[in-house]
Structure 1
Amino acid sequence: MKIMIVEDEALLALELELEVESAGHVVVGTAASRKAAFDIIDGSAPEFAFVDVHLSDGPSGIDIGRRLAERNIPFVFVTGNIKRIPEDFVGAIGAIEKPYTMNGLQNALTYIAATIDGHEASAPAGLILAEQASAV
């Protein structure tokens, strides 16, 4: 799967990139701002994205999520504050709350890949599905 990473903390972006690649996926781009993310969406056609809500240019992860949803590209938010995500999750599958563990991230990635491929899977701990969040 071709994956885009939207994260303005360089170390977290690098760790996420390493985990994605070790799981057998390809990172098509890493962005720390809205403009950089839009460039990747328009130029690299990702199949999935991890999107931080608050980036170097403010809470622009929400705008990036909307652009991804418009293009029917599945994504999850990765954030330290779930409450910053709009109630409708702007089309995201769900969210992973920071700080996350690498094991938790791998489990979420496995679930997401299976779901995108049309397979039935149980959501792992650490992945808050949009439908679960709106029911709370």
Structure 2
Amino acid sequence: MSTRVLIVEDEVLIAMETEAIVEDLGHHPVGIAATSREALALAATEEPDVALVDVNLADGPTGPAVGAKLADLGIAVVFITANPRMLQQRIENAIGVFDKPVADRDLAELLDYVTSRAAGRPAQPPSRLRVF
């Protein structure tokens, strides 16, 4: 069973590249959201297992708030951002934060960690992931 991944990113090229990598890794990208409203709507209809969330979205620095809402829905949330200092406080129920840029191998390690964790298997987090 492949993992259903929601990409919350307003930079179109980054979002499309992430989507392609997720698919190449054998997972199922359920959509790209550029705003918090789009992210919540996609989460409601597509029921993702994982959300990769940027901090700064098209509607401002709303990533932490939308990530918190997605995590409260039981979605495994990882923030992927060039602004990790904006996440100094732990976001309840989110997994952690990963600094951009993210290479293909980084994303593979991150998704392996998240899926192992969701399945209850012990897993070592990627070295670049700051776990909350």
TM class, shorter-chain normalised?
Answer: over 0.9
Deviation at 1:93, TM superposition (A): 0.3
Matches within 5 A, 1:1-136: 1-130=3-132
Residue identity over aligned pairs, in percent, reads 37
- Counterpart CA distance in 2 for 1:79 and 1:108 is 14
Between 86-95 and 60-69, the greater mean CA deviation after superposition: 86-95
Using structure 1 for the length normalisation, give the TM-score: 0.90
Whole-Å separation in 2 of the counterparts to 1:71 and 1:86: 22
Paired AA for residue 86 in structure 2: R
Please identify runs of 4+ aligned residues in structure 1 that moved more than 6 A. Answer: none
CA distance in 2, matches of 1:120, 1:23: 21
CA-CA distance at 1:90 after TM superposition? 3.4
Matches of 1:58 and 1:108, distance apart in 2: 26
- Partners of 2:40 and 2:88 lie apart in 1 by 20
More helix by share: 1
Structure 2 unmatched runs, 5+: none
Q: How many residues align?
A: 130
Q: Is the 1:65–1:91 Cα contact (8 Å) retained in structure 2? A: no
Question: Any unmatched runs of 5+ in structure 1?
Answer: 131-136
TM-score by length of 2: 0.92
> Does the CA contact (< 8 Å) of 2:68 and 2:91 recur in 1?
no
CA contact (8 A) 1:100 1:126 kept: no
Q: Deviations over 1:6-65 (max 9, x none)?
A: 000111111111111111110111100111111101111111110001001101111211
